[in-house]
């Protein structure tokens, strides 16, 4: 456009030159503005995700709420049995006797604080006493048996029981045990004596047979 301008006067030439210098800048500025206003093809403006997030949260909340309502109100047609253990919270400790028994008296209440060595319960001694008597009877029997066997081994005619039994000879059970062992010793002694006598008789019979054979042997030699 500036190439077709004609120069008439000096004043006009200055204006035209100034206009010619301004025209490219104005055209370049307009082109830049148009380029800036044009959007690139294939690129879209970003879409806000706030709505999608809110919808997702609403769906999740509705699902969990519905599941909770169904689980608390829906009847169950069946159930699964499983073993379990219930633990008491706190510092409570289970008190149990080593061998068990029947509680006769309880000296504390549940949850009460106790000190070391304090009496908690008293067991009924009936079962324990019965066990002690049974074991004591077995021990007395074995002691009396030992005394009888020693007497038989040594050939003694009388039994010598330990002082542990003689001190309780007034006890009916102990007296019965001692009497039984004395009778056993007498009977076994009689049996032993009878066996010895029988063997001695057999020895005499064998001696007689031997003597007879010897006599016949001498008589045989005499005939020769």
Q: How do residues 11-45 score in pLDDT, each as one tens digit?
A: 444 444 444 455 444 444 444 444 444 444 444 55
CA distances from 63 to 26, 58, 60, 66, 74 (A): 64, 9, 5, 5, 16
The confidence band for 105, taking pLDDT boundaries of 50, 70 and 90, is confident
Beta-carbon contacts of 92 under 8 Å, excluding residues fewer than 6 positions away, are: 111
Please state, in angstroms and rounded to a whole number, the distance separating the CA atoms of residues 27 and 33.
10
Please state, in angstroms and rounded to a whole number, the distance separating the CA atoms of residues 122 and 103.
6
Beta-carbon contacts of 145 under 8 Å, excluding residues fewer than 6 positions away, are: 181
Q: pLDDT digits over 173-208, tens only?
A: 999 999 999 999 999 888 988 999 999 999 999 999
Highest mean pLDDT: which range of 124-133, 141-150, 184-193 = 141-150
Q: At which residue do the structure tokens 């690129």 appear?
A: 43
Three-class SS state of 96: coil
What's phi and psi for 103, nearest 5 deg? -75, 125
Query: Residue 105's beta-bridge partner residues?
Result: 122
> Taking each helix axis from N to C terminus, what angle separates 172-223 and 125-154, rounded to the nearest 10 degrees?
30
> Taking a C-beta distance cutoff of 8 angstroms, is the pair 202, 208 a contact?
no
């Amino acid at each position: 456009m500036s190439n077709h301008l004609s120069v008439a006067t000096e004043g006009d030439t200055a204006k035209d030159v100034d206009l010619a210098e301004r025209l490219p800048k104005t055209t370049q500025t307009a082109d830049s503005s148009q380029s800036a206003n044009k959007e690139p093809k294939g690129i879209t403006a970003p879409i806000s995700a706030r709505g999608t997030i809110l919808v997702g949260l609403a769906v999740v909340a509705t699902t969990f709420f519905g599941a909770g309502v169904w689980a608390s109100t829906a009847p169950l047609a069946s159930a699964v049995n499983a073993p379990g253990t219930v633990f008491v919270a706190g510092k409570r400790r289970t008190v149990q006797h080593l061998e068990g028994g029947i509680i006769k008296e309880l000296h504390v209440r549940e949850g009460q604080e106790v000190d070391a060595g304090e009496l908690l319960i008293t067991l009924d001694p009936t079962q324990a006493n019965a066990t002690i008597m049974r074991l004591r009877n077995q021990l007395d029997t074995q002691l009396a048996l030992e005394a009888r066997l020693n007497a038989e081994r040594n050939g003694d005619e009388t039994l010598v029981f330990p002082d542990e039994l003689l001190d309780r000879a007034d006890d009916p059970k102990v007296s019965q045990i001692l009497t039984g062992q004395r009778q056993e010793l007498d009977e076994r002694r009689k049996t032993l004596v009878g066996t010895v006598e029988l063997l001695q008789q057999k020895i005499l019979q064998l001696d007689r047979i031997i003597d007879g054979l010897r006599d016949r042997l001498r008589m045989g030699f005499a005939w020769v």
